């Protein structure tokens, strides 16, 4: 099984430039198929064409594609502009990984191709580059239109294209947290690849797979089976489900499980489940034998977009959430979006609270996608620039021509009780419907990953990720965990947005009401329950681990896309929580 990332598009779309930069960003091998062909032949492509014509070149190209796929289990492969015209090569690439098509306007292609006309033999005849390019694009129109995963490559901002390519391909690498870097992959069906990924990385020591009573069947057992099929010893440990079990006694069970599974310092703890499982298994890995490797397989939307990233591991005390913990990043995170199909709608909505949070923090376009869903605009599935400047619709790339269908996320459809017709989904979307969830998850992940890499240990900007969590954690605990984490975060976001308006921090009018409207539409609560123990709420707030010198510190929204961190909570506002005042409401 291979997991390649293919970069494809017409001549001049920038496949080699983007592919090389992407491979460097992800620490993967890079293979330029045209360069490999030239190296094997010992002569440039134009001479290969001159000697044998296009049919001979395509045969050589197909042979090199097979070699490139077999050369490594995972690589970034830049393809020639016609490499997938052959149906057999197209099918081979689809089976071997993901194909990202670079959507580029003809005038941009013409300008780029004109700088190196001799290196593109198919553009060197037929009346020169403009005429030859127009003919080539017309001949390949249906072929190029068949790729649903598309990136706007009509500009020269490489960093922006890199960011979008990682979202569309569901591939990231988190750096900055000491020696341990984290590979992150997003996609349906990834759980089956777990064992091979461990073996390919050289992680052959014994594995303890930690799941809970909600995830042991089928996902925990599937993880064990995948690992064993790769020739690695694996043991399943099933914990009781629920935040109330996130405590030292449960942690001790994981330590004993490590001992019984024979985990030494070359072993791996694999967390299969939601945030509680990930936090506990990660903390056990941080402390077993003074630190062993761990891998996260989040099975909830909330865990995928939030708790699985960044290396925060912890367990609770009766007095507060996550008071005992360590920064210990996972070596690998596999977010199998196929698990979302069986997740209860309530859990999906909780995860969407974190997605909304990430949009408020740093991605206005992401927030707009959720607010406008389902959008009827018939455009290609993808992501706009992060600031949304070039997109006519916030849900789609501007270059999506040909009616590729509306952006369709099964997760958003379920959470919002939306039913799309087949015509609305579009033929390409029906064939690859889960890509919508992949992009939703990866785009939300990208916000957190970008912040983590700037501030891995929460000394500054990473505190922005606490938006909604300071009050949210307190509400969650004071409710006796009858409120889910995502529900509490939704309440916290609205309350903190309203407080930001009262304190003069917010510069966007009506932000609190905007969030209230969206979160209610998602089926999430937005008010502190009237029956909650206000004294317990205040105690939890004053014990928050982010407090400094007895002062509660908040991350408050300035506007969508900007958050101010470490804002001191005025004593009167803190007292209002305990008194039941509606100052926060």
* pLDDT tens figures, 129-161: 788 889 999 999 999 999 989 999 998 899 999
- The pairing of beta strand 562-568 with beta strand 553-559: antiparallel
The pLDDT value recorded for residue 424 is 52
Distance CA 263, CA 207 (A): 7
Query: What is the pTM (predicted TM-score) of this model?
Result: 0.90
The pLDDT value recorded for residue 425 is 52
Burial of 119 (0-12, 13-18, 19+ CB in 10 A): middle
- Give the tokens for residue 233: 């010893």
The pLDDT value recorded for residue 180 is 87
Alpha helices in 115-175 (DSSP H): 129-139, 141-145, 158-169
Residue count of the chain, please give it: 585
- CATH number belonging to domain 190-335: 3.40.50.1970
- Give the tokens for residue 151: 């990136």
pLDDT digits (tens, 9 = 90+) for 16-71: 999 999 999 999 999 999 999 999 999 998 898 888 888 889 999 999 999 999 99
Mean per-residue pLDDT over the chain, rounded: 89
- The dihedral through the CA atoms of 14, 164, 437, 329 has a sign that is positive
The pLDDT value recorded for residue 60 is 95
Listed in order, strand segments (DSSP E) in 240-387 are: 268-273, 293-298, 312-317, 320-327, 332-335
Residue 338 has a CB neighbour count (10 Å cut-off) of: 18
- Give the tokens for residue 298: 């989040």
HSE-CB for 420 with a 13 A CA cutoff: 26
Domain with CATH 3.40.50.300 in the chain: 4-147
Q: Which CATH number fits domain 461-584: 2.30.30.230, 3.60.150.10, 1.20.1090.10, 3.40.50.300?
A: 1.20.1090.10
More confident residue, 303 or 112: 303
The pLDDT value recorded for residue 458 is 87
DSSP state of 13: S
Stretch among 272-276, 286-290, 389-393, 412-416 having the lowest mean pLDDT = 389-393
For residue 328, give every residue at least 6 positions away whose Cβ sits within 8 Å of its Cβ, in sequence order, or none: 180, 282, 283, 285, 286, 291, 294, 311, 313
Domain with CATH 1.20.1090.10 in the chain: 461-584
For residue 43, give every residue at least 6 positions away whose Cβ sits within 8 Å of its Cβ, in sequence order, or none: none
Instruction: Evaluate if residue 406 carries a pLDDT over 60.
Output: no
| pLDDT band, residue 327 (cuts 50/70/90) | very high
Asked if residues 18 and 153 have their Cβ atoms less than 8 Å apart, the reply is yes
Listed in order, strand segments (DSSP E) in 169-319 are: 171-174, 182-186, 207-212, 234-239, 268-273, 293-298, 312-317
Instruction: Evaluate if residue 194 carries a pLDDT over 50.
Output: yes
Max Cα-Cα span within the chain: 86
More confident residue, 328 or 425: 328
Domain with CATH 3.40.50.1970 in the chain: 190-335
Instruction: Evaluate if residue 390 carries a pLDDT over 60.
Output: no
* Residue where the block lists tokens 């990660």: 282
| pLDDT band, residue 396 (cuts 50/70/90) | very low
CA of 412: how far to CAs of 287, 353, 457, 523, in Å? 38, 12, 32, 11
* Helix-then-strand count for the chain, H and E: 24, 16
DSSP state of 214: T
The pLDDT value recorded for residue 512 is 96
What does the pLDDT average to over 73-101?
A: 97
Packed helices 45-71 and 33-41: angle between N→C axes, nearest 10 degrees: 110
Residue 177 has a CB neighbour count (10 Å cut-off) of: 17
Which of 156, 157, 174, 100 is closest to 446 using CA atoms? 174
Q: Which CATH number fits domain 4-147: 3.30.70.1230, 3.40.30.10, 3.40.50.300, 3.40.50.2000?
A: 3.40.50.300
Burial of 230 (0-12, 13-18, 19+ CB in 10 A): buried
Q: In what order do the strands lie in the sheet with 97-103?
A: 30-32, 76-78, 4-8, 97-103, 150-152
- Give the tokens for residue 142: 């249906």
- Give the tokens for residue 86: 């052959």
The pLDDT value recorded for residue 542 is 87
Which of 568, 547, 459 is closest to 505 using CA atoms? 568
Asked if residues 293 and 331 have their Cβ atoms less than 8 Å apart, the reply is yes
- Give the tokens for residue 559: 């506007």
The pLDDT value recorded for residue 584 is 57
Phi and psi at 188, nearest 5°, equal: -70, 135
Instruction: Evaluate if residue 393 carries a pLDDT over 80.
Output: no
Q: Is 294 left (phi over 0), alpha (psi -120 to 50) or beta?
A: beta
Instruction: Evaluate if residue 576 carries a pLDDT over 70.
Output: no
What does the pLDDT average to over 172-201?
A: 95
Stretch among 57-61, 303-307, 332-336, 543-547 having the lowest mean pLDDT = 543-547
Instruction: Evaluate if residue 87 carries a pLDDT over 90.
Output: yes
Asked if residues 391 and 164 have their Cβ atoms less than 8 Å apart, the reply is no
The pLDDT value recorded for residue 239 is 98
pLDDT digits (tens, 9 = 90+) for 214-270: 999 999 999 999 999 999 999 999 999 999 999 999 999 999 999 999 999 999 999
Stretch among 112-121, 361-370, 456-465 having the lowest mean pLDDT = 112-121
Distance CA 433, CA 444 (A): 18
The vertex-192 CA angle with 189 and 198, nearest 5°, equals 125
The alpha carbon of 491 is separated from its chain's Cα centroid by a whole number of angstroms, namely 24
pLDDT digits (tens, 9 = 90+) for 462-501: 999 999 999 999 999 999 999 999 999 999 999 999 999 9
* Residue where the block lists tokens 């965990």: 481
What does the pLDDT average to over 447-451?
A: 96
What does the pLDDT average to over 379-406?
A: 39
Instruction: Evaluate if residue 540 carries a pLDDT over 60.
Output: yes
Burial of 408 (0-12, 13-18, 19+ CB in 10 A): buried
């Amino acid at each position: 099984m291979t997991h390649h990332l293919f970069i494809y598009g017409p001549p001049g779309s920038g496949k080699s430039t983007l592919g090389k930069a992407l491979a460097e960003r992800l620490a993967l091998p890079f293979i330029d198929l045209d360069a490999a062909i030239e190296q094997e032949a010992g002569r440039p492509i134009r001479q290969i064409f001159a000697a044998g014509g296009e049919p001979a070149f395509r045969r050589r190209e197909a042979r090199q594609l097979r070699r490139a796929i077999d050369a490594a289990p995972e690589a970034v492969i830049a393809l020639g502009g016609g490499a997938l015209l052959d149906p057999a090569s197209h099918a081979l690439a689809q089976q071997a990984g993901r194909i990202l098509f670079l959507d580029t306007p003809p005038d941009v292609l013409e300008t780029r191709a004109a700088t190196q006309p001799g290196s593109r033999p198919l553009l060197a005849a037929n009346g020169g580059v403009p005429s030859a390019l127009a003919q080539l694009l017309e001949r390949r129109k249906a072929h190029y239109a068949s790729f649903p995963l598309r990136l706007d490559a009509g500009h020269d901002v490489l960093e922006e294209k890199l960011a979008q390519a990682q979202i569309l391909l569901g591939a990231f690498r988190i750096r900055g947290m000491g020696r341990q870097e984290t590979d992150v992959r997003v996609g349906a069906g990834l759980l089956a690849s777990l064992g091979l990924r461990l073996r390919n990385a050289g992680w052959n020591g014994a594995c303890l797979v930690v799941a809970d009573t909600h995830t042991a069947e089928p996902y925990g057992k599937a993880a064990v089976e995948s690992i064993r099929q790769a020739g690695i010893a694996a043991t399943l440990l099933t914990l009781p489900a629920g935040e109330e079990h996130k405590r030292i006694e449960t942690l001790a069970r994981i330590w004993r499980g490590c001992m019984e599974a024979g985990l030494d310092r070359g072993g791996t703890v694999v967390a299969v489940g939601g945030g509680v499982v990930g936090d506990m298994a990660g903390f056990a890995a941080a402390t077993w034998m003074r630190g062993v490797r761990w891998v996260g397989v989040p099975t909830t939307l909330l865990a995928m977009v939030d708790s699985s990233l960044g290396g925060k591991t912890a367990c609770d005390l009766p007095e507060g959430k996550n008071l005992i913990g360590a920064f210990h990043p996972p070596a690998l995170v596999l977010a199998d979006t196929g698990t979302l199909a069986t997740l209860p709608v309530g859990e999906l909505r909780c995860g969407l609270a974190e997605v909304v949070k990430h949009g408020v923090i740093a991605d206005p376009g992401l927030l707009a996608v959720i607010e406008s869903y389902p959008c009827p605009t018939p455009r290609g599935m993808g992501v706009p620039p992060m600031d949304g400047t070039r997109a006519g619709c916030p849900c789609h790339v501007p270059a999506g021509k040909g009616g590729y269908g509306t952006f369709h996320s099964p997760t958003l459809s379920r959470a919002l009780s939306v039913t799309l017709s087949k015509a609305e989904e579009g033929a390409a979307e029906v064939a690859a419907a889960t890509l919508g969830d992949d992009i939703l998850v990866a785009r939300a992940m990208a916000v957190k990953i970008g912040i983590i890499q700037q501030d891995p240990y929460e000394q500054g900007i990473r505190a922005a990720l606490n938006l909604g969590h300071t009050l949210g954690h307190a509400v969650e605990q004071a409710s006796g965990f009858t409120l889910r984490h995502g529900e509490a975060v939704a309440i916290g976001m609205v309350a903190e947005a309203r407080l930001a308006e009262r304190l003069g921090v917010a510069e966007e009018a009506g932000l609190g009401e905007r969030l209230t409207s969206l979160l209610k539409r998602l089926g999430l609560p937005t008010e502190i329950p009237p029956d909650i123990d206000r004294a317990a709420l205040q105690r939890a707030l004053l014990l928050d681990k982010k407090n400094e010198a007895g002062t509660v510190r908040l991350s408050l929204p300035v506007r969508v896309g900007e958050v101010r961190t470490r804002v001191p909570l005025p004593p009167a506002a803190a007292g209002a929580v305990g008194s039941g005042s509606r100052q926060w409401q």
